[in-house]
Amino acid sequence: MYFKNGYKDDVAIIGMGCTKFGERWDTGLEDLIIEAAFEAFQDAGVGPKDIEACYFANTNAPNNCSGTPVADALKMHGIPITRNENWCTAGHVALINAVLAVKSGMCDIAMAIGAEKLKDKGFGGLGVGRGLNPVRETRRDAPGSFALIAEAYFKKYGLTYEQGKTMLAKIDVKNHYNGSLSPKAHFHNVITIEQAMNAPLIASPLGLYDCCGTSDGGAAAIVCRADIAKKFRTDPIYVKGFGCATDSMTPHYRSRNFDWTSFEALRNCAKMAYEMAGIKNPREELDLAEVHDCFSITEMCIYEDFGFCERGTAWRNVEEGFFERTGGLPVNVDGGLKCFGHPVGASGIRMTYEIYKQLQYKVDNPKRQLKDVHMGLSQTFGGPPQIASCVILGNE
């Protein structure tokens, strides 16, 4: 556990930026870095020369394994710039590293930035999620793996195929409606239950609208010591806690204690963040959440592993509208990965951007602004899946 002797409220976010997500044929990776970073600089009232350390999330930069794309784009010289490619959690890992740098006393101001150009790769998909073992996993891809999770969930909790598909479709409809209100989202289509149910199958039972898209995008965050945060702005947002957990083995190779409906990395990540933030009942204490809806079934499993509802009841909560923007715990109020797509290194910071803006009451479309929000969580889940990260923010 990080900082067992105290952590909460020692670090604040003073600026964030987010590009438009989508098929950004007009930009390169460095353009996305600049677009995200300079919104964050303007938001915080600082410039590149004020940043003392930078953490870069990226999984697909061609011929590059360092932080130099950020150094080149932002003309940052003489400071540590570290790149990580922790699958889909890379953005959150970059943000956590920036927070740790400030908390440790290494620096007063640090930046986390994630950016990805996926549409120019020349082949489909995100470039992540396929197994690394050349013998055991050459046949596996992300939709196929998560389709197995959906089938296991349906079977374990007694849902028929139609019931299960309907629950997933309701998550799709919720997120697409929310995304239709988000100017920076890739997709703005409002869909119906019937459209989601009848969409082409990608990996049964997952259809087209159950799967996130492939997009280009970038996002950035600037963090500093909490005791100096109000020198930069009157409404900083405070880091209440964070979690990061990695399984020691791909879960589905541990057949004796893995049933495909719950993930140890998710549970451990949540436990770490909740203990740090002092949260006992996340269902009641969180006001909103952005979770990793790479597939609709992933969002449903996260509800349970993160304690948003009791085990085996997520589908009932979906039926009741508990996770809609007018429900008890709104989830993915910007449309999530379903509508932003998943430029892998950028996603975790983009999700945190939504929490940050909601807690400041400064979202980009007044129709999207939630009322009376004080604490929110953003979360990513990556790999086979094998690693989970999250950050909890508060405005008081």
The model's pLDDT over 153-200, given as tens digits with 9 standing for 90+, comes to: 999 999 999 999 999 999 999 999 999 999 999 999 999 999 999 999
Q: How far is CA 258 from the centre of its chain?
A: 24
The pLDDT, as a whole number, for residue 248 is 83
Mean pLDDT of 318-331: 98
Catalytically annotated residue among 18, 88, 301, 339: 88
Tens digits of residue pLDDT in 229-263: 999 999 999 999 999 999 887 766 666 678 889 99
Q: What is the average pLDDT value for the chain, to the nearest integer?
A: 92
Phi, psi angle pair for 290, to nearest 5°: -115, 115
The pLDDT, as a whole number, for residue 186 is 98
Tens digits of residue pLDDT in 188-214: 999 999 999 999 999 999 999 999 999
Long-range contact list for 49-52, CB < 8 A, 24+ apart? 50/109, 51/76, 51/79, 51/109, 51/110, 51/111, 51/222, 52/79, 52/101, 52/106, 52/107, 52/108, 52/109, 52/110
Catalytically annotated residue among 294, 339, 342, 390: 342
Is 342 labeled as catalytic in the residue annotation? yes
Tens digits of residue pLDDT in 369-388: 999 999 999 999 998 788 99
At 214, list the tokens: 């492939």
The pLDDT, as a whole number, for residue 264 is 92
Confidence category of residue 5, pLDDT binned at 50, 70, 90: very low
Query: Is the pLDDT higher at 136 or at 212?
Result: 212
Contacts for 138 with CB less than 8 Å, ≥ 6 apart: 131
Tens digits of residue pLDDT in 97-118: 999 999 999 999 999 999 999 9
pTM score: 0.95
The pLDDT, as a whole number, for residue 121 is 72
Mean pLDDT of 45-73: 92
CA–CA distance from 281 to each of 52, 162, 309, 316 (Å)? 37, 32, 10, 19
